[in-house]
Amino acid sequence: MFLSVFEMFKVGIGPSSSHTMGPMVAAARFLDMMRAAPFQFAGVRASLHGSLAFTGVGHATDRATILGLAGFLPDTYDHARAEDVLSSLATDHTLHPDALPPLRFDPKTDLVFDYDTQLTGHTNGMILMATDAQGDVILRQVYYSIGGGFVMTEEELADGKATDEGPPVPFPFKTASEMLGMAKASGKSIAAMKRANEESRGGAAQLKSGTARLWQVMNDCIDRGLTTDGTLPGGLNVKRRAKGIHDKLQAERGMNLTAPHTVNDWMAVYAMAVNEENAAGGQVVTAPTNGAAGVLPATLRYYLDHVPGASTAHIQDFLLTAAAIGGLVKYNASISGAEAGCQAEVGSAAAMAAAGLCAVMGGTTAQIENAAEIALEHHLGMTCDPVKGLVQVPCIERNGLGAIKAVSAASLALRGDGTHLVPLDACIETMRQTGADMSEKYKETSLGGLAVNVPNC
């Protein structure tokens, strides 16, 4: 099994990898499908289903779909140009994607939130359609946004493309047990095996530059969040808190009376900074999703800024180890909140971050696997119930607590010798089963939990 570090970590925009980035990518893929078709197109339409419908407005799914149909992509997103396109669309009801004729599109009639029709492949479903001059549909495709910005057509999903292994790699582990066995047989660390796999596909230079960019985007996101205040969009009037907390922490530095547990506030504020940026629609890295984007960067920043002897030379090992664990979770369970609740998002992120931290602090392969298991185990059953469908409450604080759990899990694992009762594979399977049993109202629909018990209007 091979899932690249650049698939696990994608540069994109907030507030959601599955509800913002995924629909934008799907729309861009549909434009390519149109360009390859022998038809004369005059317009486009879209319908959103399942979780994409129920929480689509709060996650900016409508905006992302429109911009995707206009030719935008998450990793090259230009906010100013997007605003110009949306402003023009409001008056002329026409999209102008490259290499296609002008396309009629009225957001009020051509973008439908279908709350009644559940598509069969995944709860995050959407249908994109192209029409001729008479308004008849002449091209149609169903897409599923399966979490973390990954997008599949209904045919790809049915054919098992979501678990397609592709060409062989040196260390094709599909489970944690296989990963431990290959590490023992080869004498290599998890990061070294993952590096060999990556280099067999893209080469060492691409891996070096790509992972450097990932951390640069993550770190820049933290810094922006720590220096920006104001109120987040969406109507909940949630105030940004990261800057204020960070300013207080900076003022307390060097004081003799600071409590030891203050270090928890540093971990939390790094994560909250990222997720406030995400909630504002800023540039983030899926880690493994936007909703959980703060946990891993916060843990790595904690290591670099607060752990004696930390080195930037270990950043790649951190990311590779984390990506290896994330790949196991995605392959054997899910990283989608709409599919398995927040245990699949913040839980997966905490497991990945714990593994990465344990690795760069000298942990053995067994200790790294243990760290990931501890972090995931203590997120089992966590629901996804965003208030008003926004990735703000409880999501922002939840990332802060996820980072704290990740660091605690790594520390506990390093205190042991790697032996433990619950294998990571068993924990991942438990998460999958729990997600399957979980009521749909607790899986990113905002139909239960905090979303209905907290007044938000």
- Predicted local distance difference test score (pLDDT) of residue 398: 98
- Predicted local distance difference test score (pLDDT) of residue 257: 80
Rounded Cα distance between 442 and 448, Å, is 6
Which residue in 255, 342, 253, 246 sits closest to 301, CA to CA? 246
Model confidence at 259, pLDDT cuts 50, 70, 90, reads very high
Contacts of 135 (CB under 8 A, 6+ apart): 42, 43
- Predicted local distance difference test score (pLDDT) of residue 87: 97
- Predicted local distance difference test score (pLDDT) of residue 163: 62
Rounded Cα distance between 286 and 294, Å, is 9
Mean pLDDT of the chain: 96
- Predicted local distance difference test score (pLDDT) of residue 349: 98
Average pLDDT over residues 305-313: 97
Tell me the per-residue pLDDT of 84-108, one tens digit each, with 9 for 90 and over.
Answer: 999 999 999 999 999 999 999 999 9
Worst-scoring range by mean pLDDT, 170-179, 205-214, 248-257, 298-307?
Answer: 248-257
- Predicted local distance difference test score (pLDDT) of residue 389: 93
Q: Is the pLDDT of residue 457 over 60?
A: no
- Predicted local distance difference test score (pLDDT) of residue 164: 58
CA torsion angle 282 284 286 289 (round to 10): -40
Model confidence at 219, pLDDT cuts 50, 70, 90, reads very high
Tell me the per-residue pLDDT of 148-202, one tens digit each, with 9 for 90 and over.
Answer: 999 999 999 999 876 656 789 999 999 999 999 999 999 999 999 999 999 999 9
Which residue in 138, 148, 92, 145 sits closest to 123, CA to CA? 145
Q: Tokens 């997103």 label which residue?
A: 77
- Predicted local distance difference test score (pLDDT) of residue 2: 87
* Angstrom distances, CA of residue 57 to CA of 76, 144, 222: 22, 17, 26
- Predicted local distance difference test score (pLDDT) of residue 160: 83
Contacts of 49 (CB under 8 A, 6+ apart): 114, 117, 118, 119, 125, 126, 127
- Predicted local distance difference test score (pLDDT) of residue 111: 98
Could you give the 3-state DSSP secondary structure of residue 90?
Answer: helix
Model confidence at 456, pLDDT cuts 50, 70, 90, reads confident
Distance of CA 259 to the CA centre of its chain: 33
Tell me the per-residue pLDDT of 368-396, one tens digit each, with 9 for 90 and over.
Answer: 999 999 999 999 999 999 999 999 999 99
Model confidence at 455, pLDDT cuts 50, 70, 90, reads confident
**What is the DSSP annotation of 3-38?**
--HHHHS-EEESS-IIIIIHHHHHHHHHHHHHHHSS
Share of the chain above pLDDT 90, in %: 95
- Predicted local distance difference test score (pLDDT) of residue 162: 65
Token pair, residue 404, equals 């704290």
**Can you list the alpha helix ranges (DSSP code H) found in 231-345?**
242-252, 262-279, 295-306, 315-332, 337-340
Beta-ladder partners of 131: 43, 137
Average pLDDT over residues 404-432: 98
By 3-state DSSP, what share of the chain in percent is helix, strand and coil, each rounded to 5? 55, 10, 35
